[in-house]
Structure 1
């Protein structure tokens, strides 16, 4: 089944905020994720809780879409850093249905074919951006729930395989470095 993104999610923009003294709220930015789209290690709260911020708090399962810059990407907010708000770099999507996995939507948005479409539709010359109207009109293919889970499992296996291959390559390089150094001793 094909749908437009606006049919399955509500999209709003992130919040502009400045750091405060006595912070207790995380301000999520694109730089808070590494190249594998995982949290960086040294994330700290930089905002102070207020009534204005509370209505922007992220909920577990929200999809953050980095809509500005050279790399567009989507991640599912896992609730690891709470409370948190998204910066203006992000468009925040909240699911309207329980029949679609947020991780599937993020996977679809990160897929090379979707990325090409988004890059072609992005506005701006110096800094490219995808606005809400562009994102909400992206057509998303929605398989049944079982297929969504299978796709995500395959994707996670692919990521694990890549990690293991890189680890093996590093260990092999270390081995050869040690072996060749022993030859000159």
Structure 2
């Protein structure tokens, strides 16, 4: 493919798309299980995995089905295909070795030709961008529970700028997320300071009101020398 100019391709031309592992019933944690499980609750729509990829935060299970599991690999993209919001996140390097995802996900794995023209980070960013979100939302509105099918996801148009431009966008995106996190921490710290100051001022005011008034000499109170 010529990567000197931005062009478009359907997602199916860039990646393989597979459903999550077909668990039967509720997922039950098995301390002796050899497989970790990523569920939707482990991901944040804005920050992706964060600390959710740590082995201690994931449930462990023993797989009982016959289907050969598609273990997650660093650079895979998980797409949440059900619920109020469709979003994607890149699987980080810290993911445990034997990890699967649940049925609400689609596992997107770039093909070799796809890797040559687009990065996982940029693809995930583009899926989360408002243009793709509007496209996906329109597709999912006709169902009782908002959901995107595999065939619909495969038909998602993907814009492919140069790798340099992709890197620029994802770097700025990470910087914006870091800045937002710092601002939230600053606001939370300021709110804590204001609560502490308010409590101190109110406690001081109540203490001064409750302090006993010193007894005065009767003559002094009457104005006699």
Output the TM-score relative to the length of structure 1: 0.89
1:84 alignment partner, one of 99, 108, 116: 99
Question: What are the Cα deviations for residues 108-164 of structure 1, in whole angstroms up to 9, with x where unaligned?
Answer: 001122111101011653311101111111111111111111100000011011111
Contact 1:123-1:130 at 8 Å conserved across structures: no
Aligned-partner Cα distance in 2 for 1:140–1:8: 9
Question: What are the Cα deviations for residues 45-89 of structure 1, in whole angstroms up to 9, with x where unaligned?
Answer: 432257946541122111110101111110111242331112111
Compare CA radii of gyration and give the structure with the larger one. Answer: 2
Alpha-carbon RMSD: 2.2
Aligned-partner Cα distance in 2 for 1:98–1:119: 27
Contact 1:68-1:128 at 8 Å conserved across structures: yes
- Runs (4+) of structure 1 moved beyond 4 Å? 18-21, 49-55
- Alignment partner of 1:181 is 2:192: no
The unaligned stretches of length 5 or more in structure 1 are none
1:9 alignment partner, one of 15, 30, 50: 15
- Alignment partner of 1:37 is 2:48: yes
Aligned-partner Cα distance in 2 for 1:110–1:180: 41
Contact 1:53-1:85 at 8 Å conserved across structures: no
For this pair of structures, how many residues does the alignment match? 185
